[in-house]
Amino acid sequence: MAKSVTVRTFLNMKQAGEKIAMVTAYDYPTAKLLEEAGVHALLVGDSLGMVVQGQSTTVPVTLDDILYHTRMVTRAVTRPLVVADMPFLSNQISIETTLRNAGRLMQEGGAHAVKMEGGAELADTVHRLVQAGIPVMAHVGLTPQSVHALGGFAVQGRKLPEVERMLDAVTALEQSGAFAVVLEAVPAEVAEAITKRLTIPTIGIGAGAGCDGQVLVFHDMMGYTSGYIPKHNKQYATLASTIVQAAKSYVQDVATGQFPGPDQTVYLKPAERAELEPLLQPNH
C-alpha cells in the first residue's frame, strides 16, 4: 500500500522536483475516488460555499460547514494529505480563537493541516499554530474571503507594490513555519519567482506551471457545474451534461413504464403468491 502523504512529503517532492497534485473534495465518495486516482492532497475548501451551497462568494461559509465536510473526507481516505480551510473570520479575531478553531478541524474533523488566507499579518498566528502541532498551509494572491475588499475576483501581483507585499508575506509565512503556500490568480512570472525563493512548496491555482504543485476545484475540473468557469480551469470531464442526459432518460423511462423493469422488481414466490392471492384481487 502506498505511503500516506504528509507535510514532509510535500517538502521532499519540492526538493526532488516532483509536482504536487491537489484537488478540492467535500464528501466521502468524491474523496474516495480522488484517492484511487492518486491525488496527493485533498482540500476541504470554503469554495464549497459557491460550488455546493450556491453562494455567490465564500464569505457565508462557517467553521461548522467546513467541519461537517472535513469529517466526510477524512472518513474516506488514508493516503492523501487532507487540508481544511479556515473560513471567513475564523482566523482573524485573535490568535487564541484561531488556535481553538484550527484545533477543532484537526481534533473533531480529522484534518491533517489547515489553510489560512492572508499575508504577513498572519505570521504570529501561523507560528503559534505550528508550535501547537497544527501544520499550516498559507494562501496569498487572490484571497476569495477578501473579495469585497479587493473589489472582485481579480488577478493580484501586476504592480510593483503588490508584488513586494506578496514577497514580504510569503517570506514571513515561511519563516513562521508554514509548510506550503497557495498562490492564487498570480501572474506566472511572479509565481515562478516566488517559488524559486522559497524552500517550502507553492501550490498554484491560476498561477502558471512554475509552481511546485497545482490545485483545482473538483466541480470545475469535472465539468460538474454550469455557468461561469474560471479561466485557469481545465475541464477534464463533462459530468454536468452526462448527469442531465441520464436524468432525462430516467424521466422518459418512468413516463413510458420502462422503469422499473423486471430486473429492478421483486416478485412474490409461487407459495407466497398462493397465500396472498385473495388479497391481490382488485375487488377484495
Q: Return the ∠ at Cα 25 (arms to 74 and 14), rounded to 5°.
A: 85
* Of residues 42, 49, 50, 77, the one with CA closest to residue 65: 49
Looking up cell 508575506, which residue turns up? 169
Neighbours of 94 (CB within 10 A): 10
Could you give the residue numbers annotated as active site?
A: 184
Could you tell me if 205 and 140 are in contact, meaning their C-beta atoms sit under 8 angstroms apart? Answer: no
Show the beta-strand stretches assigned E in the chain: 20-24, 41-44, 81-85, 113-117, 136-141, 180-184, 202-205, 213-216
